[in-house]
Amino acid sequence: MCAARLIHLVAHRGNAREYPENTVPAFASALSMGLRFLELDVHLSADGVPIVMHDHRLQRTTGHTGTVFDLRAQQLQQIDAHEPQRFGERFRGTRIPLLADVLALLEGRPEVTLFVEIKRASLAQFGHDQVVSRVLEVLRPARTQCVVISFDLAAVYRARQLGGLAVGWVLSDYDAHSRLKYEAVQPEFLFCDHTKLPAHGTLWRGPWRWAVYEVETLALARSLAQRGANYIETMAVHEMSEALRNLQDGDPAAPRGT
């Protein structure tokens, strides 16, 4: 592996292996371990407020029925997002955060970058203009530290039109058709699940930077970095950061960076 190649770890939904995903404790934990890159998911509430949650349905992470579109932001903030199926009652009292709540963690931390994924279900529910504009409005005070990303290329393009911050496209497929689309939009970042990439070969070159997600081992991270990945997105924040730190301590030529 090239000795100069950096590996930047991105905390996927925060430290989501040890804390309920997409919650303030999960993001604070990742920051406490020295990570400088966070990723989260955003939907709009019934009254158009950006909230942090991956699923638009409440059941998996809260145990409640219904969707985020059924309730106003104030109501959603009273619901525990403690993932009872995974953690039982351990994190009871951990609330669904607003995007603004997570953004507050960036105050006084200019080195931290936040990747904000706009979810397609909200785009379908409220329309691109409303969703993108509401998200950008919240992000504006920290826009130099934020990157808006989405599977929906029209949302990425709308964010680019409104201007003021970097954008990224999350690829559904790594193929020639997708390549034509992103070469036209020229996002600063491309995201892709590692299982959708070819097994071998250099990733497509361009002005963008690659972020590859669902990575669980350092060996895979190093292989992807060698192929051109700049960022490795993982839920296994603790394990990956420790493995990377141990590698650096034992090998001065090892890839660096969290």
How does pLDDT run across 166-215, given as a tens digit for each residue? Answer: 999 999 999 999 999 888 889 999 999 999 999 999 999 999 999 999 99
Q: For residue 16, how many other CB atoms are within 10 A of its CB? A: 24
Is residue 221, in this structure, part of any structural domain at all?
yes
238 an active-site residue? no
Active-site pick, 54, 64, 194, 238: 54
Is residue 88, in this structure, part of any structural domain at all?
no
Q: How many domains does the chain have?
A: 1
Is residue 68, in this structure, part of any structural domain at all?
no
Is residue 89, in this structure, part of any structural domain at all?
no
Is residue 207, in this structure, part of any structural domain at all?
yes
CATH number at residue 232: 3.20.20.190
- From CA 186, how far away is CA 170, in angstroms rounded? 13
Active-site pick, 12, 43, 56, 82: 12
Dihedral through CA 221, CA 212, CA 30, CA 107, nearest 10? Answer: 140
Is residue 70, in this structure, part of any structural domain at all?
no
- Angle CA(74)–CA(75)–CA(78) in degrees, nearest 5? 95
Is residue 257, in this structure, part of any structural domain at all?
no
Cβ–Cβ under 8 Å, residues 12 and 39: yes
Q: Domain range for residue 204? A: 8-56+99-250
54 an active-site residue? yes
Which residue stretches of 140-255 are H helix?
153-162, 176-185, 218-227, 237-250
Q: Using one digit for the tens of pLDDT, what is the confidence trace for 64-112? A: 999 999 999 999 999 999 999 999 999 999 999 999 999 999 999 999 9
